[in-house]
Amino acid sequence: MASRNTISFTSVDAQPSGVLVLIAGEGGAVTNGLPQDLKSLVERAASVAKFKGKALSSFELLAPAGSALDRVLVVGGKADTGSGEEHWLKLGGSIAAKTKGADVVTIAAGTLAPAEAASIAAGILLRGYEFDRYKTKKKANGDDEEARDAAREFRLSVADADAAKDAFAGIQPVVDGVVLARDLVNEPANVLGPVEYVAEIEKLSQVGVEVEILDEAAMRDLGMHALLGVAQGSPRPPRLAIMRWNGGGDEAPVAFVGKGVVFDTGGISIKPAAGMEDMKGDMGGSAAVVGLMRALAGRKAKANVVGIVGLVENAVDGMAQRPGDIVKAMSGTTIEVLNTDAEGRLVLADALWYCQDRFKPKFMVNLATLTGAIIVALGNHHAGLFSNNDELSERLTQAGKATGEKVWRMPLGPEYDKQIEGKFADIKNIGNGRAAGSITAAQFLQRFVNDVPWAHLDIAGTAMGSPANEYNQSWASGYGVRLLNRLVEDHYETK
Ligand code: BES
Ligand code: MN
Ligand code: ZN
């Protein structure tokens, strides 16, 4: 849920109030135009606190009597904590956390570039996110009710307020997209089934996204039996949602495809009980695509972008698909379903094929919480990247470094592809045993990709349950929205 924090930009001449935040440079120097008495006080406090200006380290002091300020907080800010925008998000998030309880916070950002100040603001908003819709007593995290409900005001004093506002106008929709993705992933599956999910997606038409929905009958007509086979064990019918943002004239579109399994019980190859509740987040790939479309439309990106999400519940009633069942995908490929828990690739097989067949995109990037094995390989700090294209991989890698939504390229190859050869059908939906589980899953997807540049991001470790950081305290991280927004912004927008 969106935070109750508000952001404004003022000129450096405006009188600061509340808590004043100073961003210290290298060596701990606080180089801004403080009045002399305050300046010596801060310098003395810095020396007593042995403050060296290390990134995100801080100290604070009470403002002197008679001052318009309550407190002064000094935060180390210049030394980079990562590359690019993520540094400023961390700084913003950390300022929001360290000024908790203050109604008004003035951040002295006169020496920062507009984009840097705007990213600090984004970090403040992302830090303020909390999924508390179902808390009837607002007392989570030891906060009292009043403090949680109070709207907090953050004023950034900058050299050029108009330039900072412009920069922020380009970032705020991205924050909205991340918040939307987090909300969708945090939402439990009893509330968010495929039909309810589609209702949320349709709201994007309010910001100019064209939305089209395929129901079960439409998918049957198209021959999407890989996706439909997964859905048949649930009384809740599947949907395929197609979102289009047309901001790029008559260029061929770029395309993003997401796995949207609203809950993954495993089906007849059922999962163990411990931790199964996390499978409400098995639609994290689709949430990233939906959040991205929200971001691109909100900032009126000059690009043509298609987003496609396959929404199903992998449940287990008497109609559920069985191990050994053979289904025919829209592409015509026949698949032996040897493990009903390897369902994401079945959903994506039809969504990817449909996407390239209908839209002839410049590239396709799919996102999926696809394998537990990627968590074994990379933990929570990189998504697995699998691709048939070096340029697309390099661009995704760079976007990952800038945003902090990092990716790590993994191999594909004929040796792995062999592992999914079928015994009774063309292919089977699992490899041999546990070896290279994330790679054989990627090989499976590649069987449904023709010549188009394609990348698959396995986000099982990054979309949810990743450790909290300065700008994310939520179980669902919203991973992928900022990464793909950066990819589009840096390479696929007409000027
Ligand atoms: N949704 C899971 C993958 C997953 C696991 C996501 C943990 C997030 C956290 C996926 O559908 C799945 O069950 N994959 C199986 C594949 C196996 C049956 C080949 C897995 O990873 O065990
Ligand atoms: Mn599964
Ligand atoms: Zn799954």
In contact, 60 and 101? CB cutoff 8 Å? no
CA distance 206 to 99: 35
pLDDT at 79: 59
**C-alpha 343 to ligand 3 mean position (Å):** 6
The SS3 assignment for 392 reads helix
CA distance 330 to 350: 6
CA distance 155 to 144: 24
| Atom in ligand 1 nearest the alpha carbon of residue 271 | 13
Reply yes or no on whether the pLDDT at 3 is more than 90. Answer: no
pLDDT at 150: 73
pLDDT at 95: 98
Distance (Å) of CA 348 to CA 2, 191, 212: 30, 23, 18
**C-alpha 103 to ligand 2 mean position (Å):** 45
pLDDT band for position 142 (cuts 50, 70, 90): low
Higher pLDDT, 122 or 2: 122
| Atom in ligand 1 nearest the alpha carbon of residue 440 | 19
Q: Which of 71, 236, 271, 328 is catalytic?
A: 271
Reply yes or no on whether the pLDDT at 80 is more than 70. Answer: no
pLDDT at 124: 98
**C-alpha 79 to ligand 2 mean position (Å):** 42
| Atom in ligand 1 nearest the alpha carbon of residue 281 | 8
**C-alpha 61 to ligand 3 mean position (Å):** 50
Q: Which residues surround ligand 2, an ion (CB under 5 A)?
A: 264, 341, 343
Section 334-348 average pLDDT? 99
pLDDT at 141: 53
Q: Which ligand is nearest to the CA of 281?
A: 1
Give the least confident one: 56-70, 159-173, 202-216, 274-288. Answer: 56-70
Q: In what order do the strands lie in the sheet with 304-314?
A: 210-214, 239-246, 304-314, 254-264, 364-368, 454-458, 383-387, 407-409
Reply yes or no on whether the pLDDT at 143 is more than 90. Answer: no
CA distance 184 to 191: 10
**C-alpha 391 to ligand 2 mean position (Å):** 31
pLDDT in tens, 381-427: 999 999 999 999 999 999 999 999 999 999 999 999 999 999 999 99
- Percent of the chain clearing pLDDT 90 (strictly above): 88
Section 347-373 average pLDDT? 99
**Alpha helices in 25-132, H assignment, sequence order:** 36-48, 85-98, 114-127
pLDDT at 456: 99
Higher pLDDT, 146 or 34: 34
DSSP 464: B
**Which residue among 346, 371, 458, 462 is best mutated to probe the pocket of ligand 1, counting the most ligand atoms within 8 A of its Cβ?**
371
| Atom in ligand 1 nearest the alpha carbon of residue 264 | 1
pLDDT band for position 137 (cuts 50, 70, 90): confident
One-letter amino acid of 495:
K
**C-alpha 276 to ligand 2 mean position (Å):** 10
pLDDT in tens, 450-474: 999 999 999 999 999 999 999 999 9
Section 177-191 average pLDDT? 98
Question: Which residues on neighbouring strands pair with residue 156, listed in sequence order?
Answer: 9, 107
Rounded to a whole number, what is the largest CA-CA distance in the chain?
84
pLDDT at 81: 64
Q: Which residues surround ligand 3, an ion (CB under 5 A)?
A: 261, 264, 282, 344
Section 86-114 average pLDDT? 96
pLDDT in tens, 429-439: 999 999 999 99
In contact, 85 and 119? CB cutoff 8 Å? yes
pLDDT band for position 144 (cuts 50, 70, 90): low
Give the least confident one: 11-15, 137-141, 326-330. Answer: 137-141
**C-alpha 439 to ligand 1 mean position (Å):** 13
Predicted model pTM: 0.97
Higher pLDDT, 27 or 300: 300
**Which residue among 263, 282, 313 is best mutated to probe the pocket of ligand 1, counting the most ligand atoms within 8 A of its Cβ?**
282
- The helix or strand, by DSSP H or E, that contains position 483, with its residue range, turns out to be helix 481-491
Query: What is the pairing mode between strands 58-62 and 69-76?
Result: antiparallel
Reply yes or no on whether the pLDDT at 31 is more than 90. Answer: no
pLDDT band for position 139 (cuts 50, 70, 90): low
Q: Which of 280, 345, 447, 482 is catalytic?
A: 345
pLDDT in tens, 275-291: 999 999 999 999 999 99
DSSP 278: G
Q: Which ligand is nearest to the CA of 438?
A: 1
CA distance 212 to 217: 14
Q: Which ligand is nearest to the CA of 312?
A: 3
- Percent of the chain clearing pLDDT 70 (strictly above): 96
pLDDT at 34: 82
Q: Has 401 been annotated as catalytic?
A: no
| Atom in ligand 1 nearest the alpha carbon of residue 441 | 19
**Distance spanning both ends of the chain, measured CA to CA:** 33
**Which residue among 341, 432, 464 is best mutated to probe the pocket of ligand 1, counting the most ligand atoms within 8 A of its Cβ?**
341
Q: Has 271 been annotated as catalytic?
A: yes
CA distance 457 to 459: 6
pLDDT at 280: 98
CA distance 484 to 301: 12
Question: What is the CB neighbour count within 10 angstroms for residue 151?
Answer: 9
pLDDT band for position 6 (cuts 50, 70, 90): very high
Residue 160: CB partners within 8 Å, gap ≥ 6?
114
pLDDT in tens, 38-49: 899 999 999 999
Q: Which ligand is nearest to the CA of 460?
A: 1
Report which protein residue has its CA nearest ligand 1's atom 13.
341
| Atom in ligand 1 nearest the alpha carbon of residue 344 | 11
Report which protein residue has its CA nearest ligand 1's atom 8.
460
Within 6 A (CB) of ligand 1 lie 264, 282, 339, 341-344, 369-373, 430, 437, 460
pLDDT at 145: 54
Scored b (16 or more CB within 10 A) or e, 328-341 reads bbbbebbbbbbebb
398 burial via Cβ count (<10 Å: 0-12, 13-18, 19+): middle
pLDDT band for position 84 (cuts 50, 70, 90): confident
Q: Which ligand is nearest to the CA of 185?
A: 1
Within 13 A of 80's CA, how many CA atoms are on the CB side? 9
pLDDT band for position 4 (cuts 50, 70, 90): confident
